Amino acid sequence: MQASFVSERNLDALLDPAGAAWRNVPRTELGLTGTPLGLQPTAAIKASWADKKIGAIDRVDVAALNDGQRLLFRLEWRDPTESRKITDNNVFVDGAAILFPTVPDAPLVLMGAKGAPVNVWYWRADEDAGNHIVAEGFGTTRIVDRDRVRTRAAWNDGRWQVVIARDLRVDSPEPVANVQPGAPAQFSIAVWDGANSERAGIKAFSPVWTDLTIEPAQR
């Protein structure tokens, strides 16, 4: 997949999932699968999900852009229920994330491993700020900051449209992904369906790293 270069530099315009910048950007459909039951980290989670479908969302349309400074993804998927707010103890919200390996071949299915972290740009429907996360295996996610990942989302007619963005390169002591135009990169997508009580490792994800080329600036 390619993150084409755009000359639009206005972040507000780029974050708008319905904005002009995205209009003619080609979309790639990625198939999603539920995280396998056997890999769920605790016996209680396995027991309670044994007869339930993990990963209610099975496909997502992905487009990507870069403006020379930032990398932006636009995700769109069908979800008949908009789960925006936690209104009760048993209510969960929709979410989505872009995952990057921070070392070659970091294990995707297990959300990284010790010494092989994955970097996650995470959007959840009840928060405006995106979360910038590092994980080294299930249950180890930690938020490294809340201001670098920018998100905007809209739900219309049973479809989520979400833009998730971050600077191509960030200065951080944490093992986060830095990408650059011209160099190869990889990513994966995860989607949580709140209406299916999805949270943590109960999610759908694209099960192999997808190659991404970031188009260098054209002048």
Partner 1 sequence: MSSPKRQIAMVMDLNKCIGCQTCTIACKRLWTRDEGMDYMWWNCVNTMPGRGTPRDWETMGGGFTAGDARPSRIPTRGDFGDAWEFNHEEVFFGGKGSSAHLQIKGEQPDWGPNWDEDQGAGEYPNAYYFYLPRICNHCTHPACLEACPRKAIEKREEDGIVLLNEDRCRGYRFCMEACPYKKLYFNETRKISQKCIFCFPRVEKGVAPACARQCPGRVRFVGYRDDQNGPIWKLVDKYRVAIPLHPEFGTEPNVFYVPPMSPPRFDENGEIDESRPRIPDEYLVSLFGPRALEALGTIKSEVAKVRGGGKSELLDLLIAYEWKSMFGGFDRDPATIEWTKG
Please identify, using beta-carbon distances, which residue of 133 and 168 lies nearer to partner 1: 133
Please identify, using beta-carbon distances, which residue of 172 and 197 lies nearer to partner 1: 197
CB of 55 to partner 1, least distance (A): 16
Binding map of partner 1 across residues 113-142, x = CB under 8 A, - = no contact? -------------------------xxxx-
The alpha carbon dihedral of 71, 109, 34, 133 has a sign of: negative
CB of 37 to partner 1, least distance (A): 13
Q: What does residue 88 show for φ and ψ, rounded to 5 degrees?
A: -160, 170
Positions 5 through 24 that interact with partner 1 (CB under 8 A): none
39 is a site residue for partner 1 (CB under 8 A): no
- Residue 161 to residues 19, 49, 77, 88, 219: CA-CA distances in angstroms? 11, 28, 7, 25, 30
Please identify, using beta-carbon distances, which residue of 122 and 160 lies nearer to partner 1: 122
| 137 contact partners, CB below 8 Å, separation of at least 6 | 110, 111, 112, 113, 114
The partner residues of 140 in beta bridges, in order of sequence, read: none
Can you give 69-125 as a three-state secondary structure string? CEEEEEEEEECCCCCCCCCCCCCCCCEEEEEEECCCCCCCCCCCECCECEEEEEEEC
Closest CA to 73 of 208, 216, 212, 204: 212
The single residue among 159, 169, 200, 215 that binds partner 1, judged by CB under 8 A, is 200
146 is a site residue for partner 1 (CB under 8 A): no
The single residue among 48, 81, 156, 180 that binds partner 1, judged by CB under 8 A, is 48
Please identify, using beta-carbon distances, which residue of 108 and 165 lies nearer to partner 1: 108
CB of 156 to partner 1, least distance (A): 26
**Contact positions toward partner 1, by CB under 8 A?**
40-48, 50, 86-90, 138-141, 199-201
